[in-house]
Amino acid sequence: MGLSVDIRKRYKGFELNVAFTSDDETLAILGASGSGKSMTLKCIAGLISPDEGRIVSDGHVLFDSAAKIDLRPQERDVGYLFQSYALFPNMTVRQNIEAAYSGSKEEREKDIDALLSKYEIGELAGRYPVELSGGQQQRTALARIFAYKPRLLLLDEPFSALDAYLRENMQAEFKHMIREYDGNVVFVTHSRDEAYKIADSLIILDEGRPAAKGNLREVFTHPGNVRAARITGCKNISEIEKTGEFSFFAKDWDIELKAAEPVREDHSFAGIRAHGFTPIIKNNANTFSIEVIDEIDGPFEKDIIFRPAGGAGRLWWIVGKDMDVEGVQALSIAPEDIMLLEA
């Protein structure tokens, strides 16, 4: 039956107003710091009470302001992974997991041993949290959550405390773990790459309200508005003026382009992903000469900053580290790679 959330929470200078449903899938809530991501999670978990609204998990009403229902966190059957992992510092790894175990005493030892083995922390069972690495702490925290066997799993920036190498490994492990979990998973993140790797669906929060929501890949492909496009990482956005059913003039770049979909009157901006450009292709509708302004090297890719020849503005083009762009005099962008956006 999934998860249904429709809540409002007001603070001085900020209002959270969010509604969504999720049906036995992994949902990512993506947004900048202060957008309301963690607040949403805490409202679902019962750590914060919304001012009004309703939260239902698998048909179980967790919160209903009209019916005056507001279950305590321990009554909600929710597993919550905090950014800090919140392990009990005076308990060993095994004791931390046992503290959340909800089965019979007869099955405890066998089930705890199985979790220690599954999360590859058996050799760490007698250690305390201070003696563990970030990845080991995270696996212990996850094992503790699954010992509780919650119907809903909530994760608050689960990889933010890990270094880059460990983060990528844990993301792969985590995706494998949640495939075996029979229930809804909601995790919040400020990383679009993290969301894209793990989630099935996506909500983009901006100043307490959804800027976009739906199937993850659909949201990235068609974010719909400027705020969502920027949060998903679009570097090239220009105000536009419609010139035809499928064509427009990009004011910030001083060029005319053609889109794959009709340009509506409420399409006041267009976006182009930095990976979308290709060296000149004959007969392409969107081909233009360029002037390279700068090159910025990264470890595996480089950013080419350019403007249309004789035009204005700055655009970003991301290419492979070894690509020689010195002889590239023109670029093209496929109409289907242009995103038409509302303000």
Same domain, 21 and 96: yes
Asked if residues 208 and 10 have their Cβ atoms less than 8 Å apart, the reply is no
What's the whole-number mean pLDDT along residues 311-332? 89
Contact present, 231 and 56 (Cβ < 8 Å): no
H helices of the chain, in order, are: 37-45, 93-98, 105-118, 134-148, 164-179, 192-198, 216-221, 226-231
Q: Is there a single domain that holds both residue 92 and residue 199?
A: yes
Number of domains in the chain: 2
On the question of pLDDT at 114 being above 70, the answer is: yes
Dist. CA 268–CA 88, nearest whole Å:
52
pTM score, two decimals? 0.86
Look at residue 283 and tell me whether its pLDDT is greater than 70. Answer: no
Instruction: Pick the closest to residue 151 from 263, 62, 40 (CA basis).
Output: 62
**Residue 168: partners with Cβ closer than 8 Å, 6 or more residues away:** none
Domain co-membership, 263 together with 191:
no
- In a shared domain, residues 156 and 264: no
Segment 207-231 shows an average pLDDT of 95
Residues 216 and 243 reside in one and the same domain = no
Q: Could you please report the per-residue DSSP string of 230-276?
A: HHTT--EEEEEEE-SSSEEEETTTTEEEE-SS---TT--EEEE-TT-
Q: Are residues 241 and 212 in the same domain?
A: no
The predicted pLDDT at position 282 comes to 58
Residue with tokens 């020689």: 324
Query: With 90 as the cut, is the pLDDT of residue 275 above it?
Result: yes
Looking at the structure, tell me whether residues 80 and 31 fall in a common domain.
yes
Q: What is the predicted pLDDT for the residue at 41?
A: 96
| DSSP code for 183 | S
Same domain, 90 and 219: yes
More confident residue, 165 or 19: 19
pLDDT at 100: 85
190 and 121 assigned to the same domain: yes
| Residue-level pLDDT at 53 | 98
Q: Is the pLDDT of residue 106 over 90?
A: no
- pLDDT value at position 310? 87
Indicate which CATH number applies to the domain containing 60.
Answer: 3.40.50.300
The one-letter code for the residue type at 339 is M
Neighbours of 46 (CB within 10 A): 19
Q: What is the average pLDDT score of the chain?
A: 91
Residue 138: pLDDT over 80: yes
Residue 207 has pLDDT above 90, yes or no: yes
pLDDT value of residue 158: 82
Asked if residue 137 and residue 39 are part of one domain, the reply reads yes
The span from the CA of 254 to the CA of 314, in Å, is 11
Q: What is the pLDDT of residue 241?
A: 97
In angstroms, rounded to a whole number, what is the distance separating the alpha carbons of residues 3 and 200? 14
The distance from CA 50 to its chain's CA centroid, rounded to whole angstroms, is: 23
**Measured between alpha carbons, how far is 93 from 339 in angstroms, rounded to an integer?**
49
How sure is the predictor about 83, in pLDDT bands with cuts at 50, 70 and 90? confident
| Per-residue pLDDT at 148 | 83
Q: Is pLDDT above 70 for 281?
A: no
**201 burial via Cβ count (<10 Å: 0-12, 13-18, 19+):** buried
**pLDDT reported for residue 213:** 95
Could you give the percent of the chain with pLDDT greater than 70? 98
Domain endpoint, select from 186, 206, 226: 226
Return the structure tokens found at 301. 């890719």
Say which amino acid occupies 294. D
Q: What is the mean pLDDT of residues 84-109?
A: 87
State whether 194 and 290 are in the same domain: no
Residue 293 structural domain: 235-341
Domain end: 226, 253, 274, which one? Answer: 226
Least confident of 18-32, 76-90, 251-265: 76-90
- Mean pLDDT for the stretch of residues 204-230: 95
Least Cα distance to 57 among 137, 2, 18, 105 occurs for 2
pLDDT by residue (tens digit) across 10-58?
988 899 999 999 988 899 999 999 999 999 999 999 999 999 999 999 9
β-pairing verdict for 247-250 and 287-297: unpaired
Tell whether 210 and 244 lie within a shared domain: no
- Label residue 92 by pLDDT band (50, 70, 90): very high
Domain boundary among the residues 205, 226, 247 is at 226
Is pLDDT at 104 greater than 80 in this prediction? no
* HSE (side-chain half, CA atoms, 13 Å) at 47: 13
Position 162 pLDDT exceeds 90: no
Burial class of residue 71 in the structure, from the number of CB atoms within 10 Å of its CB (0-12 exposed, 13-18 middle, 19+ buried): middle
